[in-house]
Structure 1
Amino acid sequence: MGKSLAKSPTRFVFDLFLDRKILPLYSPKLKNKISHKIILGENKPVKVSNTHPFTVKDIPDYLELSTQGNYPFKCKEIRQYEGFLVNLTKHNNINSYLTDNLNKRNRKNVFAKRNKLHERHNIKYVCYHKNIDRLEYDRLFKRFYTFLEKRFHEKRILNRYLDNWNTIHRDVYQKIIDGCASLYVIYDKKEPISITLNFHLGDIVFSHIHAYDILYSNYNLGDVNMLANIEWCLENKVSVFDLSMGKTYNKQKWCNHTYYFVYHIFYDRKSTRSKILSDIIILKLKFLQYLRNKNIVGKLFQYDRLLYWKKAKEI
């Protein structure tokens, strides 16, 4: 890397958890501030530009980073939207977690729905981590796509993963074999009814995509799936089950730790143009977050809903 930075922003959280890559601006040694354990990534190359600021988006603030290298850049940091995670460091079993974090009514409802599901169907739970049959993997990904497509069509919202599904399908298999990813599947007999794609790094499991068969909606599969994933994490000594960004009722109910995503804006300290541009970026980010805080962006105006209708009109 030269003495300059790329123009296009990079999303730190996805580079790290999906590909274990970190920009060479940062040390590949990170610290999980919740568990105080060290996490190791790998520095990745980056294309460069001369005087334009460079934005590193979506850095979870529960990770401790340190810069490295002799670069002529200064960094401005700005806090953005919330992230949600399950902190398991004080719990040894699922009952301990549920007692501390779900009220009596919620606990009763979760187990009532799960028991009803088990009574009426032949339910099996499988976590594919470090081992999966290729034919079953391909079958699961086809059903995964169908679940997402139907669910987001039902919600009238565009799911951006669907446009990139072939790449996800292609890349995840080897990551499962290598232990970097997993598919947590709930089956009814031999048919998958809920699928979660998780990524693993150190003592953190990053929950990336979840979808379920909407024919089973009456059983609150989101809760049943969350219960099963947390239980697996506890059994496998995971400290953090990270559900990432996007405030939903389900995340707020299950998570016991809220964090923030921060942006780093790097600029060339010797360039007046670079500094001015970085100030403009900061102002734009502050204004956008103000609109989020006022529920204008994300509630009153939903960009993915607009994209859904635009795409539907084109079709």
Structure 2
Amino acid sequence: MTLFEKREIPDIYQKIEYVDNNKSLYEADTEDQFGQEKYHLYTVALIPEYLNTVLKKDNQFVQKTYYQNNLGYAIRMKDVNNIDSYLKSQFKSNHKVIKRSLNRLESCFNINYKTFFGSISKEEYSFLMSTLKEMLVRRFTQRNDEHKKLREWNIILDKTFDQINRKEASLFIIYDAKKPIDISLNYHFDKIVFSALSSYDIDYHKFGVGHVEMIKLVEWCLKDQFEYLELGYGDLEYKRRWCNHIYQFKYQVVYNQQSRIIPILAKIELFKLSIKEFLKEKQVNLIYNNIREKFSINSSKPIDGSESSLEKRTITEPDKFKNMVKIDPEIEQYKFLRTLLYEFLYSTVEHKDNTFIFMISDSPKSFLIRGKNNAQQITYRN
């Protein structure tokens, strides 16, 4: 999605416009003259179906457009009246489960939201991007995988600060008090918001933080009258469930028809394209991924690396435990208890500020989670 991330547009195009209304989202300088193009053959992939490209006039170029097997996922905002009606239309009977994620999160924590769009300090930017990277590493380590964007992290880090301050990118944050628990990096082009990279603190996974992020992004797009919330390619379940506009990407080969050699090279390029699309149609890439997963080791590594079995027991008389020591799950030594604490909060709808963890001195490897109205004993057994 080079258009959104790098804002790179081949100089062969005069303008790019929305298919729905023919409104232009990009138009080249009218003073540009044909003949300044650097190349005689252009191949442009992953053009969203909802965009049209228009070549510069009075040139000798031919544009061939084909559809790729790559599916794109977007939310067309003109079809969204409000978030509640959209959840009902997209999730049907499950819409209450999605809304519950938001309600439970806000009931159990001191949740607040912030968007950096047009202004961010270098210090804040460095902290948030470092946190986002940590979230990605931890989440994908748990899956025994690596996010491909981590390979180009330094490039992203160098360019995005200026893009945010120029309103070409934004950072959307969900905070638990002052702690970021979900960060979404988005790129902007005209009235399109491209959700390029996001992650969350996996300790909060029970609360469906990813769904809360999407709810807030849709609300923001409605408020600021964006045309599309673009989620890009990649067939993932959450995209299929959230998006009301699933489409095929377009691939264009643009070449100088007056050249003797270039049309031949264009035919070669089109042949290569047909081979790639044939392999995608036969799902060769999925076969490769399945083989890689079968040979991977520890594909479901526990978050804390513990091999102990876990016993949870509801406690109706927590005062019977006399010898207890209050502990802080934010301390590194006890961080493995955070997920258990947050699962307790989710199931009981207790608030974090009123809930505490105690080590039970008389029972080795045993802890008590106690809220205002509920309590639970956690025991690790080898």
Same fold (TM over 0.5): yes
Question: Cα–Cα, structure 1 residues 46 and 213, in superposed 2: closer, same or farther, change >3 Å?
Answer: farther
Partner of 1:98: 87
2:17 to 3, 7, 31: 31
Partner of 1:18: 5
Q: In 1, Cα distance between the equivalents of 2:7 and 2:174?
A: 27
Q: Does 1:125 find its partner at 2:113?
A: yes
Amino acid at match of 1:291: L
Shift of 1:258: 1.3
Partner of 1:313: none
Structure 1 portions without partners, runs of 5+: 1-12, 310-315
Shift of 1:272: 5.0
Contact 2:19 2:50 in 1 (8 A): yes
Amino acid at match of 1:102: F
Q: In 1, Cα distance between the equivalents of 2:208 and 2:36?
A: 43
1:302 to 289, 314, 339: 289
Partner of 2:49: 61
Q: In 2, Cα distance between the equivalents of 1:148 and 1:68?
A: 42
Higher Rg:
2
Contact 1:78 1:282 in 2 (8 A): no
Q: In 1, Cα distance between the equivalents of 2:39 and 2:238?
A: 42
Partner of 2:207: 219
Q: In 2, Cα distance between the equivalents of 1:284 and 1:236?
A: 42
Contact 1:86 1:241 in 2 (8 A): yes
Q: Does 1:88 find its partner at 2:74?
A: no
Q: In 2, Cα distance between the equivalents of 1:35 and 1:161?
A: 34
Contact 1:77 1:262 in 2 (8 A): yes
Shift of 1:48: 4.1
Partner of 2:26: 40
Question: Cα–Cα, structure 1 residues 56 and 46, in superposed 2: closer, same or farther, change >3 Å?
Answer: farther
Residue deviations 1:172-218 (CA, integer Å, cap 9, x gap): 12221221211011111111111111112222111111111122222
Residue deviations 1:127-164 (CA, integer Å, cap 9, x gap): 11112232111100001111122223333333232122
Q: In 2, Cα distance between the equivalents of 1:156 and 1:290?
A: 30
1:57-206 correspondence runs (5 A): 57-80=45-68, 81-105=70-94, 107-206=95-194
Question: Cα–Cα, structure 1 residues 68 and 113, in superposed 2: closer, same or farther, change >3 Å?
Answer: same
Partner of 1:286: 274
RMSD: 2.7
Partner of 2:325: none
Partner of 2:227: 239
Residue deviations 1:256-311 (CA, integer Å, cap 9, x gap): 011221111133324454333322322322232222223221x22139x69xx8xx
Q: Does 1:276 find its partner at 2:264?
A: yes
Of the structure 1 ranges 138-147 and 276-285, higher mean CA displacement relative to structure 2 is found in 276-285
Question: When the two structures are superposed, what TM-score results if normalisation uses the length of structure 1?
Answer: 0.82
Aligned length: 289
Amino acid at match of 1:87: R
Q: In 1, Cα distance between the equivalents of 2:289 and 2:107?
A: 39
Q: In 2, Cα distance between the equivalents of 1:261 and 1:71?
A: 26
- Structure with the greater relative contact order (CA < 8 A, sep ≥ 6): 1 or 2? 1
Shift of 1:253: 0.1
Shift of 1:63: 0.7
Partner of 1:266: 254
Amino acid at match of 1:100: S
Residue deviations 1:108-140 (CA, integer Å, cap 9, x gap): 111222222222222111111112232111100
Q: In 1, Cα distance between the equivalents of 2:22 and 2:258?
A: 36
Q: In 1, Cα distance between the equivalents of 2:4 and 2:214?
A: 19
Contact 1:93 1:235 in 2 (8 A): no
Question: Cα–Cα, structure 1 residues 300 and 241, in superposed 2: closer, same or farther, change >3 Å?
Answer: same
Question: When the two structures are superposed, what TM-score results if normalisation uses the length of structure 2?
Answer: 0.69
Contact 1:206 1:244 in 2 (8 A): yes
Contact 1:35 1:89 in 2 (8 A): no
Q: In 1, Cα distance between the equivalents of 2:88 and 2:20?
A: 21
Identical pairs, percent: 31
Q: In 2, Cα distance between the equivalents of 1:157 and 1:278?
A: 37
Q: In 1, Cα distance between the equivalents of 2:133 and 2:141?
A: 12
Question: Cα–Cα, structure 1 residues 129 and 240, in superposed 2: closer, same or farther, change >3 Å?
Answer: same
